[in-house]
Every structure is written in C-alpha cells, then in structure tokens.
C-alpha cells in the first residue's frame, strides 16, 4: 500500500474516515475530520481576526474624523486617524495570505484523506454491496460530496469567523463609546438570529431532496451508457432518452423549488434588515437630537454603520447556510459508504504462500432475500494441483461455490478451509494475490495486448508475456498481428473474436503463475476450432495448480480430474468423467442432452 494513503498518525485513511464519520451527527463528524489539523485551524484564527479587523475598526476611525470636522479639530489629528486606518488596511494582505495558507492546507488534505479512505473502503466492500451501489452513485460520493465538504470549510468557516469577530469588536467599541445604544442591538440582533434558525431548517430538507434527484439523474445516465448496445439494438432509444429526460425534469423541479425558496427567504430577510437599519438610524438620530442619549454626529453614523455591518454579517451567514447544509449532507452521504457494513471481513492472518488445498465443510450460503439457500450443507475436498469441473443447471450454485472459495461470499454456516486454515481467519485479499480468475464475460481494457496481459503486474517482461500467451494458445494469433504485443484491443482497438478474447483472458490469468486458477466458462458457443484451441489452452493452464472450472463444454469436462455435479446447492454426483458416464446418473443424462442436436 502506498505510504501516501496512510494518515499522519499512522492510522490508515480508511480507519480514520470510518471512526470520524457518523451519519447521524454530521457536524460532530466534521469536527472529528478536522482534528488532525486542529493546530492549523486554531493558528489561523488570530490571523483572520487581524485581517478582518478593519471592518469594525474603520467605523470608529471614520466617526472620529466626522467629529473632528464637526468640532473643527486640528488637521494633524485627521491625518493621524487616516494613517492608522491605512496601516490597518495594509495589514489585510499578509494576514489574509497566512490565513489562507493554513486553512487551505488543512481543507485540501482533509479532502484527499477522505477520498483515499473511501477508495480503500470501496475495495473492501463485498460483491453484494457493490451490486447495490451503482458506479455513478459511488462517483458522486467520492467526487462531489467530498467537494461539498471542502466548500463548507472554505466558505462557511471564514463567514462564521467574520461574523463572530465583527460582532465582538462592534459590541466592545459600542459599549466603550455609547453604551446606551446597546439595548437597540439587544432587540434587533436576536430577531435576526431567530430568522436565520428558521430558514436553515426550511432549506435543509429542500437541499436533501435536490441532492437525491441529482444522484438519481447520474445513476440513470450511467445506466443509459452501460446499456447503450442493448438499448440501440432493441430500438429503445426513445425509452432511454425519455427516462433521462424524466429524471432531468425532476432535477429541474427540485432545483426550482429550492431556488424559489431561497429567493423568497432572501428577499424577505433583505427587506427586513434594511428596514431595521433605517429604523436604527432614525431612532439614534432622534434620540441624539432630543438629547435623550448624549451622542455626537460621528457616533450616530457609527451606530448606523455597525448595524449595517452586523446585518451584513448575518446575511452572509444566511447565504452560507445552504452551503453548510450541503456540506453536512455530503458527510451523511459519505456515511452511507463508511457505514456499509457488508465488507469483506479482514481476518488477522496474512498469507504469503498458498499451496492450493481447498475444503468446504458443510457450507451453507443464503443470499439476502432468497427463499432457498444457494448452497446447502455442501462438503468438498479439493487437493492441491487437482482440476475440478463443476457442472449443473443454471442457478444450481456453481458460481456461488467459486465465490465462497474466493471469499467474495461468506458462508452462513460451515467453514471454508484454504490449506487447512479457516478462511474466516485469513485475510482473503492476501490469498487472492496467489489466485487468478477468468470471468465468464471477458473484460478487456482499452490498451495494448501487453497491457491487457500484464494487467496490474507492471514488472512482467515480454518473455513472460509470450510464455503466458503460448500456454493460453494465443501466441500464434498475437504474433500474426502487424503490431504484435503493441496492438490496441478493447473498446477503441481492433475487434477480437470471442475465442481470442477468452485466450487473452487466460493468458492474463497465467502470467501471474497463480496457485489457484478459477475459471467461469463462457456459455456463449464457440466454433469447434476455437473451442478446441481454448480447450487445449486449459489443458496446459491447469498444470501445476489447483483449478476450479465451471464447465459448459464437454471438452473442458474431460480436462478435469474430477467432475462435480451440482443441483439446488448440493453435490449430487462426483467422480471422473469416465466413472460418471459409466454410472449412468445425472451427469450421463447431461452429456446425452448436450450431444443431442438442439432441435430434437
């Protein structure tokens, strides 16, 4: 694992994110996420207070200048006041830079740690959990939701700091110069805060609705892209386009509702604030003219300016409320991954060497929501180096046997033993470093044949690649390609036949020299020549390793040392090809059916 993925205190990013995020308490989760950089956050506060101080220090300076004009004071006093103001303004630049340096470092590394942690968690989720989370939803969480947390920190934190420091500064100055004005603030400011609290509550739920609509849209678009071939092939273009359009409309409606809500509350608060400000000025001026409160002209202006500044600060808080809500929503949304408990258990024991002995001991597998178990009290011993072919009807449990051995599916009862050790106590990921899989559907990435064969093992050289291609019966056709190993295959490359793709997939499995080879044979028919090429590829592939094949072709079944017939999650027959044929049971009937012409 790359060291950069590790968190500073030696805690992995995944553990850190896991411990910090509690979807039920997003604000507390955020504080826990900020903890490792708390020194930076704390240090940034004094820098912010200094850089922001002109906001509340300039008005008393201006008030003093006005009073100097009214009372006809000396010019040097005015110049002195002006110089103090200028110095304050100039301080803003270095202090702002220092503030941004500190908070940006803290925010950006928080985001990268959360992303690294999420990625680690995603690779640990069980296959079942991955089936539930679409790739588009995962993308949204890792990219957009983390971004909304960054935005929260970059925009809401300064706003809150600004409001707090301005308020404190303004109130202190006010208390020192005209304490009798303070009761005015005591009435108007709580009014404003109550308004904020109310609006935050309202916009929170609309935001959540909007986020759900957007996530739904991206899932639909992802599905459309995945199913494009089927969609076009079935002439369903209009259906797919219409379903995206419907989603887009829901996003539009939720977005408009949100916009209207924000606009309505924005306008109401603005008018209310301006009216209060006017009232404040009129009140202060009246009180001063009637000599109810001894205040100079400058002080009346000061009061009015402060009121505008304070209401401005509160309005900014208000504007920040949706960003805050979105950021906290982001944390909740990320929590759906960190709280996804359906992870692969990581047993304590890492495995360095795998011999290849496999045993299933009275294994039962229940998929969630299924009526009947997928595997039922199934026991099986497979010796290192043995080649076992699983045959049986569709849905009988062949793939489930493979998946339970690989640790992708956990047994509800019974044990899986790898080299005599209980798989529940092993870190199956370390076991799988010595396993190769040839899936039913051959997946090629867009890239050269070389990149496809050595996928994930960059240290593999061309000699080893050619060796693997020879064993997989693919060397001949690759050598015949004009650009050989550099030929680009996959979505953007040349088209290969089903048999050629499968043989490349076998070469990819063999280049790792696995101790255990797991192969789910493609059900799609190959022509007899391809079938015999793939068949003899398997004959050499199985040599020297434990090989588990879900077999559909007679040729493959013959390659195996043992044939296991699976039915409704149980083993109903087991033996060599010849033995089973002779016994005349379920297997011989399967073979007879396969040899019948399909039309019969």
Ligand X SMILES: Nc1ncnc2c1ncn2[C@@H]1O[C@H](COP(=O)(O)OP(=O)(O)OP(=O)(O)O)[C@@H](O)[C@H]1O
Choose the contact partner of 370 out of ligand X, Mg ion, none; CB within 5 to 8 A by kind. Answer: ligand X
Burial of 38 (0-12, 13-18, 19+ CB in 10 A): exposed
How far from 213 is each of 13, 84, 206, 220, 224, CA to CA, in Å?
Answer: 30, 53, 11, 11, 16
Q: Is the dihedral of CA 42, 48, 49, 51 positive or negative?
A: positive
Q: Are strands 488-489 and 413-418 parallel, antiparallel or unpaired?
A: unpaired
Nearer CB in complex with ligand X: 449/522? 522
How far from 461 is each of 293, 464, 512, CA to CA, in Å?
Answer: 89, 6, 12
Burial of 187 (0-12, 13-18, 19+ CB in 10 A): exposed
The window from 315-323, 391-399, 413-421, 557-565 that contacts ligand X (CB under 6 A) reads 391-399
The span from the CA of 377 to the CA of 203, in Å, is 54
At its nearest, how many Å lie between ligand X and the CB of residue 366?
Answer: 9
Q: Which run of H or of E encompasses 550? A: strand 546-550
Q: Is the dihedral of CA 58, 62, 68, 71 positive or negative?
A: negative
At its nearest, how many Å lie between ligand X and the CB of residue 250?
Answer: 29
Which residues, at least 6 apart from 117, have a Cβ–Cβ distance to it below 8 Å? 12, 13, 14, 15, 16, 17, 18, 338
At its nearest, how many Å lie between ligand X and the CB of residue 125?
Answer: 13
Q: Which run of H or of E encompasses 166? A: helix 157-177
Nearer CB in complex with ligand X: 276/401? 401
Contact residue for ligand X among 46, 82, 94, 128 (CB under 6 A): 128
Contact residue for ligand X among 59, 397, 407, 411 (CB under 6 A): 397
Contact residue for ligand X among 255, 367, 447, 581 (CB under 6 A): 367
Choose the contact partner of 400 out of ligand X, Mg ion, none; CB within 5 to 8 A by kind. Answer: ligand X
191, 310 contact by CB (below 8 A): no
Nearer CB in complex with Mg ion: 399/505? 399
The residue ranges that bind Mg ion (CB under 5 A) are: 399
Choose the contact partner of 148 out of Mg ion, ligand X, none; CB within 5 to 8 A by kind. Answer: none
At its nearest, how many Å lie between ligand X and the CB of residue 374?
Answer: 4
Q: Find, among 116, 318, 144, 107, the residue nearest to 218 by Cα.
A: 144
Nearer CB in complex with ligand X: 46/395? 395
Q: Write a three-state SS string for 112-156.
A: HHHHHHHHHHHHHECHHHHHHCCHHHHHHHHHHHHHHHHHHHHHH
Nearer CB in complex with Mg ion: 262/399? 399
At its nearest, how many Å lie between Mg ion and the CB of residue 402?
Answer: 8
At its nearest, how many Å lie between ligand X and the CB of residue 558?
Answer: 19
At its nearest, how many Å lie between ligand X and the CB of residue 395?
Answer: 4
At its nearest, how many Å lie between ligand X and the CB of residue 453?
Answer: 26
Nearer CB in complex with Mg ion: 140/399? 399
Nearer CB in complex with ligand X: 14/573? 573
**What would the DSSP string read from start to end of 353-421?**
-----EEEEEEEE--TT-SS-SEEEEEEEE-TT-EEEEEESTTSSHHHHHHHHHTSS--SEEEEEETTE
Nearer CB in complex with Mg ion: 395/584? 395
At its nearest, how many Å lie between Mg ion and the CB of residue 482?
Answer: 37
**Number of residues in contact with ligand X, rule: CB under 6 A?**
12
The span from the CA of 273 to the CA of 267, in Å, is 10
Q: For tokens 């050629």, what's the residue? A: 500
Q: For tokens 């009014």, what's the residue? A: 191
Nearer CB in complex with ligand X: 127/187? 127
Choose the contact partner of 367 out of ligand X, Mg ion, none; CB within 5 to 8 A by kind. Answer: ligand X
Choose the contact partner of 347 out of Mg ion, ligand X, none; CB within 5 to 8 A by kind. Answer: none
Choose the contact partner of 596 out of Mg ion, ligand X, none; CB within 5 to 8 A by kind. Answer: none
The span from the CA of 22 to the CA of 537, in Å, is 51
Burial of 230 (0-12, 13-18, 19+ CB in 10 A): exposed
| Minimal CB distance residue for Mg ion | 399
At its nearest, how many Å lie between ligand X and the CB of residue 435?
Answer: 18
Q: Is 371 in the site for ligand X (CB under 6 A)?
A: no
Q: Is 2 in the site for ligand X (CB under 6 A)?
A: no
* Segment 399 to 428, residues that bind ligand X, using CB under 6 A: 399-400
**What would the DSSP string read from start to end of 399-410?**
HHHHHHHHTSS-
Nearer CB in complex with ligand X: 294/395? 395
The window from 110-118, 146-154, 395-403, 476-484 that contacts ligand X (CB under 6 A) reads 395-403
| Radius of gyration over every alpha carbon of the chain, rounded to an integer in angstroms | 35
3-state secondary structure of 169: helix
Q: Are strands 546-550 and 516-520 parallel, antiparallel or unpaired?
A: parallel
Choose the contact partner of 341 out of Mg ion, ligand X, none; CB within 5 to 8 A by kind. Answer: none
The window from 148-156, 309-317, 392-400, 491-499 that contacts ligand X (CB under 6 A) reads 392-400
118, 21 contact by CB (below 8 A): no
At its nearest, how many Å lie between ligand X and the CB of residue 128?
Answer: 6
Q: Is 394 in the site for ligand X (CB under 6 A)?
A: yes
Nearer CB in complex with ligand X: 287/563? 563
Contact residue for ligand X among 290, 348, 370, 480 (CB under 6 A): 370
The window from 152-160, 309-317, 347-355, 387-395 that contacts ligand X (CB under 6 A) reads 387-395
At its nearest, how many Å lie between ligand X and the CB of residue 400?
Answer: 3
Q: Is 126 in the site for ligand X (CB under 6 A)?
A: no
Q: Are strands 358-365 and 413-418 parallel, antiparallel or unpaired?
A: antiparallel
Nearer CB in complex with ligand X: 158/407? 407
Nearer CB in complex with ligand X: 399/505? 399
Burial of 85 (0-12, 13-18, 19+ CB in 10 A): middle
At its nearest, how many Å lie between ligand X and the CB of residue 397?
Answer: 4
Residues of this chain that interact with ligand X (CB under 6 A) are 128, 367, 370, 374, 392, 394-400
């Amino acid at each position: 694992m790359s060291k950069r993925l590790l968190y500073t205190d030696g805690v992995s990013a995944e553990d850190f994110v896991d411990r910090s995020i509690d979807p039920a308490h997003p604000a507390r989760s955020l504080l826990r996420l900020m903890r490792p950089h708390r020194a930076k956050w704390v240090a940034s506060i004094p820098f912010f207070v200094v850089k922001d101080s002109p906001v509340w220090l300039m008005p008393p300076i201006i008030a003093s200048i006005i009073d100097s004009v009214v009372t006809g004071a000396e010019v040097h006093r005015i110049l002195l006041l002006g110089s103090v103001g200028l110095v304050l303004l100039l301080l803003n630049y270095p202090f702002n830079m220092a503030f941004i340096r500190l908070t940006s470092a803290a925010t950006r590394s928080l985001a990268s740690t959360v992303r690294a942690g999420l990625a680690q968690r995603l690779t640990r989720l069980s296959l079942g959990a991955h089936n539930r989370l679409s790739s588009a939803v995962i993308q949204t969480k890792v990219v957009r939701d983390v971004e909304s947390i960054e935005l929260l920190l970059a925009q809401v934190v300064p706003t809150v700091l600004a409001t707090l420091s301005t308020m404190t500064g303004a109130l202190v100055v006010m208390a020192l110069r005209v304490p009798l004005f303070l009761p005015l603030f005591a009435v108007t400011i709580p009014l404003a805060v109550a308004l904020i609290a109310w609006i935050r509550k309202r916009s929170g739920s609309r935001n959540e609705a909007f986020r759900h609509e957007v996530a739904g849209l991206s899932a639909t678009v992802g599905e459309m892209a995945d199913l494009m071939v089927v969609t076009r092939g079935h002439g369903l273009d209009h259906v797919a386009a219409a379903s995206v359009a419907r989603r887009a409309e829901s996003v539009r409606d939720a977005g408009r509702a949100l916009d209207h809500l924000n606009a309505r509350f924005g306008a109401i608060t603005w008018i209310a604030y301006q009216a209060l400000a006017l009232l404040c000025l009129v009140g202060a001026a009246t009180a001063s003219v009637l000599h109810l409160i001894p205040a100079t002209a400058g002080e009346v202006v000061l009061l009015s300016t402060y009121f505008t500044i304070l209401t401005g600060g509160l309005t900014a808080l208000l504007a920040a409320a949706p960003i805050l809500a979105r950021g906290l929503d982001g944390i909740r949304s990320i929590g759906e991954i960190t709280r996804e408990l359906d992870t692969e258990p990581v047993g304590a024991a890492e495995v360095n060497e795998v011999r290849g002995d496999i045993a299933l001991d009275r294994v039962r597998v229940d998929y969630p929501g299924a009526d009947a178990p997928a595997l039922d009290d199934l026991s099986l011993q497979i010796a290192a180096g043995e080649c076992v072919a699983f045959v049986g009807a569709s849905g009988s449990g062949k793939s489930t046997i493979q998946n339970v051995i690989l640790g992708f599916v956990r047994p509800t009862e019974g044990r899986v033993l790898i080299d005599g050790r209980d798989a529940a106590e092993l870190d199956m990921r370390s076991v799988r470093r010595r396993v190769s899989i040839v899936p039913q559907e051959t997946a090629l990435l867009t890239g050269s044949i070389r990149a496809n064969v050595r996928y994930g093992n960059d240290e593999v050289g061309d000699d080893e690649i050619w060796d693997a291609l020879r064993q997989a019966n693919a060397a001949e056709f690759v050598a015949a390609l004009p650009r050989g190993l550099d030929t680009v295959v996959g979505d953007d490359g040349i088209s290969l036949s089903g048999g050629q793709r499968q043989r490349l997939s076998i070469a990819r499995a063999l280049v790792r020299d696995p101790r255990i080879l797991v192969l789910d044979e493609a059900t799609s028919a190959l022509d007899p020549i391809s079938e015999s090429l793939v068949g003899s590829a398997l004959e050499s592939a199985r040599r020297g390793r434990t090989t588990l094949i879900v077999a559909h072709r007679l040729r493959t079944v013959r390659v195996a040392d043992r044939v296991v017939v699976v039915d409704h999650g149980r083993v109903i027959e087991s033996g060599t090809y010849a033995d089973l044929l002779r016994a005349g049971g379920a297997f011989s009937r399967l073979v007879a059916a396969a040899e019948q012409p399909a039309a019969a």
